[in-house]
Amino acid sequence: MKATVYKSTGSWYIVKDESGRIFNARMKGVMKLDDITSTNPVAVGDIVEMEIETEESSTAIIDEIHTRHNYINRQSPRHKHQHHIVAANLDQSLLVATLKEPKTSQGFIDRFLVASEMYHVPPLIVFNKADLYKNKELEKYEAWKAMYEAIGYSVFLVSAAKKEGVDEVLELLKNKTTLISGHSGVGKSSLLNVIFPEMNLRTQDVSGWSGKGQHTTTFAEMYDLPFGGRIIDTPGMREFGLVDISKQELSHYFPELRDRLNDCQFNNCLHVNEPGCAIKEAVINGAVHEDRYVSYVNILDSIEEKNY
């Protein structure tokens, strides 16, 4: 029988069958050996085949995982070469960012966008805490919105606290499976509570903000939205990891760079010091935003450090 994974706690999974019945499921032992590089063979969002084990206690055994149309990976915190699949079968990802308390950096947003491109999960960017923004933050917001929308990304401004601007975002979540992401303290739980008051997710006190924040669980969990669609919350996940990305492919994950790659003189151009580089030309004439190019170079440097 077909079911969807809503929560993974390591060896047990909470799954829902097509009639909405919930089961506690385990993997059939032998399947655990299938994918030795992943620390968790089944992820939230996976569609599985299972057999009911006991009717009374609603337990089941998973014996097949359907092919994923995409998934998000993270490097295992304990084992560098092991991957952890955070979530599978996503329609989109929603990054919650803020320009105040705390301020999300452009570098963080751009890494998120690179990961979204790499995993083939279309991104949305929502700036929260609009009620705290003064002219300075509003100008920054407009500048970033213009920069990202010119590349093709959608950017929204909301206040979860004042319930402002959220309707437009809700509309985009309807009937889609969305991964919600962002630093702790930006208001993910608050935003979800506006969408779904009965969920009553714990929000955290931002006073004494240290830049890190607390989190209670680290397991991803999926929730059905009352108006259709699903949200995957990943408490404790600071960012998608850029697992297995090479310097050479990085520019493919910047849409505005990808569009111009073929015009570079050398086909292995990294767009740093090479002559005849169409990307650097585009930065100079303003067709590519300088700040996005700076992010590109910063990420490029971080890949170098990791691999050599």
Binding site for Zn ion (CB under 5 A): 264, 269, 271, 277, 279
For ligand GDP, the closer CB: 132 or 138: 132
By the rule CB under 6 A, 102 interacts with ligand GDP: no
By the rule CB under 6 A, 129 interacts with ligand GDP: yes
Give which of ligand GDP, Zn ion, Mg ion, none residue 131 binds (C-beta under 5 to 8 Å, depending on kind).
ligand GDP
By the rule CB under 6 A, 128 interacts with ligand GDP: yes
By the rule CB under 6 A, 199 interacts with ligand GDP: no
* Chain Cα centroid distance, residue 69: 15
Out of 8, 73, 104, 189, point to the residue binding Mg ion (CB under 5 A): 189
Residue nearest to ligand GDP (CB): 187
By the rule CB under 6 A, 187 interacts with ligand GDP: yes
For ligand GDP, the closer CB: 71 or 133: 133
Site for Mg ion in 60-119 (CB under 5 A): none
By the rule CB under 5 A, 251 interacts with Mg ion: no
By the rule CB under 5 A, 40 interacts with Mg ion: no
By the rule CB under 6 A, 104 interacts with ligand GDP: no
Binding site for Mg ion (CB under 5 A): 188-189
